[in-house]
Chains A and B, each alone.
Chain A
Amino acid sequence: MRRARGRALPGAVAALCRALPPRARPAPDTLRRARFDRPQASSHCWRLLCSLLKQVHGGKWTEPDAIDIQIRFIKSVLWYHGYGRPELYRLPSDGSAGSRELLLAFSWLLHRISLLEQLLARNRVRTGDETSVCTCEDDLTNSQKGRTEIAPEYSLEDKVDVRYLQWLHGRLRFQWRSLHALHQEQSKLLHKIHLFTSGSHMDKILGHFSVTETELIRQPENYKQLLQFLESETMQLEAFLEWKQLEQVYWHWMVKTREEELQKEEFCAAARKTQEAVELKLLDLTYHCAPKKPKMHGSCRLVFRSKHSASKTGFGRSVSKEPISTVSATEVIRELQMRKASLERELKQLQEECRQRMDEIAEGLDGVICISP
């Protein structure tokens, strides 16, 4: 068994490496060297982990930072997900050591946040008309705005005229109105394209083409790169499947890595007690990790499905063909309406507070008449 595992190990590690995205794909040798804590592999491992984590956190690919910023980022992310191994946090910020620790952390992340699956999903080649279902990007923009520094042109010393603010606000409102019109036009165009191409797609669940796909049909020469991406993604997926079959070997290998390390440490009673305490906590954790109500999140492909065609398919097209993650626009609309209502309440409340404060201030001013705009 062990010999078989030994033979299968290079295959497993190679499959794992090929299942990672092309931009952050290590050589299988790197992982092997990391296991033996080779310092040469350290900086490479840090950079690798950094680029992997950046892909699942925040998504924007920026220029690679200096090594100490990357290390700080990795440590923050691991802390964020609850990685509690102090040895990792004690690693130096110059990237000269820690390849084994990184390998352990990487393997932990593989399980804890389903790193491979997340990477595949985030980097998925999308050819549909993508629409986000949640409003997370709004929350992100607004919270980021709250954190950033004040723009240089509005320094703290300057006094700002209220009329200028009112003008800005008016411009903003006008902008929203024009955006509304643009959105309506966009929905009309999309619907027409979906309607006109109904019945042509080779995937019957989708049924019709998206804008990108229609453009592809019209001018295939513009989309050669898309084809390449698609093919490379397919290879990555096949590597993932291979990895899934061989992963047992990998985990055994990792357990042995851990054991080697354990033998180096002193095994005292305190450690045993800690183990028991942690097992207890793990029970609590598992309870809290129980699947909650699944909520749709992120970007989805827009598919037009007229009620008429739905009834036409009848019994032949059974529901089992329906992918798990289909969401109907009705649900999303309902959720959005609820959210809109609660946001309106909140806004009203804030405005009321503001008004009360204004009243208080106005009362304090003698002989002044306030005229509202």
Chain B
Amino acid sequence: MLPAGCGGRLAAALAAALGDGAERRRELERQAARGRALLGRWDAEDEERQKSDSSSSNGQESRPSPKELEELELLSRALAKALKVRKSIQKTSVEAQGVREGEKAANEGPAPKNAQVQQVPVSSEGVPVTTKVKAVSRKPTSSKKPSSYLLTAPYRTDPDVKKAHRKAPARCMSQAPRTAGKSSSKAVASKQARRHRLTISASNQEVCAAAESQKTDGLSKCGLLEQQSVSLGDSAGGKNLVAAGRQLFDTGKEGCGSLGGSSKKEDHTTEDALGRNSSPQADTLQEKGSRLKFPLPYRKAYSRNSRAWENCRLCQSSADAAAARNRFIERIQTTFCSPMPAFSPAEIEEEVKVLQNVPSLLSQCVEAEHADHPTLQREYESLLTLEGLQTIASQCLHKLQLLREAAESQMRLCPECTGDAGSCCSDSVPPWGQACGSTGVLAEPLLCYTSFQELRDLFALKMQVSMLNQEIAIQKTCREKERKPTTSGSLQVSCTSFCLVLLLFPLLKHALRNATIMCIPLSALLVRAVYGRLCAVLMHRVLRVH
């Protein structure tokens, strides 16, 4: 068991750290969700919203349930298989065969054959399918046709669908014009349909082209794909996929083309296809990112705002104003209690913050110089370096001393001091994070990165630094008794660190001791020490040679 106070403090510190981390995670997840939403399909969300509007009016819409998504998954796998099959039988003329097979299989219920049978009458209706098929391979521009193939919810929830699977395609056709009227997202759906057809065309170009040259078989298969693409092309991604899926599933679907599984996958393939085909109806950030513009009112406000910032940044006080201001400041500062300490608490804190890093830097340099030096010149260089470091160290110590004095007199002046040094004003003043200079303050600070790797490293390093800070704080909690960190506390720490640094200088320690005892100027002593060491080294070399 740990001593009671320490254990409790540690536990509290760890718990607080966990709480901070949880908050950070929440914030990150929120931001990631925003980013993901922007990188996905923009109008998918619009349709979702429109759908939810229309659903509130006709109350037909609902989300695909997990079961439906499962069926969707199965459908897509089946479609993938079908595509493989199709590719392997491109050249064969199987029109009659197909019909026969279809009739045979009608009882068994394999989907493509079945649908094929149904497709025959459909294609005999002729125009819609044919034009669509042609359109597939030629990148269609018309947008009217697809809407006639919209499958909307009423179709899906219609209990007759499951039973009359044979008639399903025809029903689909006949229903479509009705439902097309109902749907409010026709145009969008048609866009999607077109896109899907483009997808198909991109990936199944050969197939469809071959299909054209074929008779019923190719036509039917393509038509089937078409139908499925259209059904997929409906809005509210997945719902009517489900409808088609269920229908085909019920008819024992095999071999259907691959048209992606979940709507997300759909998006990616769509994106890729679009990337290749550069459709003007791009709805992802990737496609239209470089063409985006602010809405007009915002654009105006933004340009006015940035102009105002720029003017403020560049404007300066006139000389007269500066003179009048200085006169006021002088006068008011004459009324300050005298003698004022040399540093204000804000300045003390700033200086100490800078000085806190110095001991570790100095000790690093000193350690570097401890290594053995092969040549005389190197030895001399090292000694000179040590001398320079010593100068810096003593300057910093002097500064620290001044700061300490100023801090003490500031504490005396402190208005709320009740005698408990270090626990009053520094507590009630929240941190003051001063930016650089007053003119610099008005410029928008930018952090530029040049590659994804850099950004990643930046985030990772920031996180590691935060983590290390936290670890150190926790370690210190183990160590501390009841001490509260204050300005003077950090001053003490800095002083101790400096003393430690000095102890690492064997030369300096020696020199300092002698200086205090004999009151000889430090530099002279150091020179003597250096000279002495040089002589020693020379002697050593001479002896070694001999």
Measured in the bound complex, the distance between the Cα atoms of B22 and A252 in whole Å is 54
Measured in the bound complex, the distance between the Cα atoms of B429 and A137 in whole Å is 15
**B430–A58 contact, CB under 8 A?**
yes
**A251–B294 contact, CB under 8 A?**
no
**A324–B456 contact, CB under 8 A?**
no
Measured in the bound complex, the distance between the Cα atoms of B2 and A142 in whole Å is 22
The reply to whether the CB of B285 lies closer than 8 angstroms to some CB of chain A is: yes
Measured in the bound complex, the distance between the Cα atoms of B457 and A337 in whole Å is 10
Given A296-B445, A323-B446, A182-B315 contact (CB < 8 Å) = no
Tell me which of B436, B458, B459, B466 contacts A135 (CB under 8 A).
Answer: B466
Residues of chain B within 8 A (CB-CB) of A226 are 298
The reply to whether the CB of B455 lies closer than 8 angstroms to some CB of chain A is: yes
**A187–B456 contact, CB under 8 A?**
yes
Given A86-B337, A138-B470, A281-B339, A298-B32 contact (CB < 8 Å) = no
The reply to whether the CB of A169 lies closer than 8 angstroms to some CB of chain B is: yes
Residues of chain A within 8 A (CB-CB) of B464 are 340
The reply to whether the CB of A366 lies closer than 8 angstroms to some CB of chain B is: no
The reply to whether the CB of A363 lies closer than 8 angstroms to some CB of chain B is: no
1/0 per residue A286-329: CB within 8 Å of B? 00110110111111111111110010000000000001111111
**B447–A277 contact, CB under 8 A?**
no
Given A117-B442, A247-B321, A306-B451, A214-B285 contact (CB < 8 Å) = yes
Q: Which residue of A lies closest to B28 (CB)?
A: A182
Provide 23 A-B residue pairs closer than 8 Å at the C-beta atoms, listed in order of the A residue. A72-B428, A77-B429, A80-B429, A82-B340, A83-B336, A133-B447, A135-B466, A138-B469, A159-B4, A160-B7, A164-B11, A192-B286, A198-B289, A216-B294, A241-B315, A255-B328, A306-B451, A323-B443, A325-B446, A327-B448, A329-B448, A329-B454, A336-B461
**B443–A138 contact, CB under 8 A?**
no
CB neighbors of A among B427-467 (8 A)? 427-452, 454-467
The reply to whether the CB of B21 lies closer than 8 angstroms to some CB of chain A is: yes
* Main SS class of interface, B: helix
Residues of chain A within 8 A (CB-CB) of B445 are 133, 296, 298-301, 325-327
Given A84-B337, A271-B334, A300-B446 contact (CB < 8 Å) = yes
Measured in the bound complex, the distance between the Cα atoms of B335 and A274 in whole Å is 9
**A168–B18 contact, CB under 8 A?**
yes
Tell me which of B36, B436, B449 contacts A294 (CB under 8 A).
Answer: B436
**A169–B305 contact, CB under 8 A?**
no
Given A190-B455, A251-B328, A274-B295 contact (CB < 8 Å) = no
Residues of chain A within 8 A (CB-CB) of B16 are 145, 151
CB neighbors of A among B1-26 (8 A)? 1-2, 4-5, 7-18, 20-22, 24-25
Tell me which of A75, A84, A182, A220 contacts B333 (CB under 8 A).
Answer: A84
The reply to whether the CB of A176 lies closer than 8 angstroms to some CB of chain B is: yes
**B461–A340 contact, CB under 8 A?**
yes
Shortest distance in angstroms between B10's beta carbon and chain A's nearest beta carbon?
A: 6
1/0 per residue B128-148: CB within 8 Å of A? 000000000000000000000
Shortest distance in angstroms between A66's beta carbon and chain B's nearest beta carbon?
A: 14
**B35–A189 contact, CB under 8 A?**
yes
Shortest distance in angstroms between B398's beta carbon and chain A's nearest beta carbon?
A: 13
The reply to whether the CB of A227 lies closer than 8 angstroms to some CB of chain B is: yes
Residues of chain B within 8 A (CB-CB) of A234 are 301, 304-305, 308
The reply to whether the CB of A143 lies closer than 8 angstroms to some CB of chain B is: yes
Residues of chain B within 8 A (CB-CB) of A354 are 475, 478-479
Q: Which residue of A lies closest to B471 (CB)?
A: A347
Residues of chain A within 8 A (CB-CB) of B17 are 145, 172
Shortest distance in angstroms between B354's beta carbon and chain A's nearest beta carbon?
A: 8
Measured in the bound complex, the distance between the Cα atoms of B444 and A233 in whole Å is 14
**A248–B320 contact, CB under 8 A?**
yes
Measured in the bound complex, the distance between the Cα atoms of B437 and A232 in whole Å is 25
Residues of chain A within 8 A (CB-CB) of B329 are 108, 111-112
Given A80-B345, A84-B333, A146-B485, A303-B448 contact (CB < 8 Å) = yes
Residues of chain B within 8 A (CB-CB) of A63 are none
Given A80-B344, A165-B7, A237-B305, A182-B470 contact (CB < 8 Å) = no
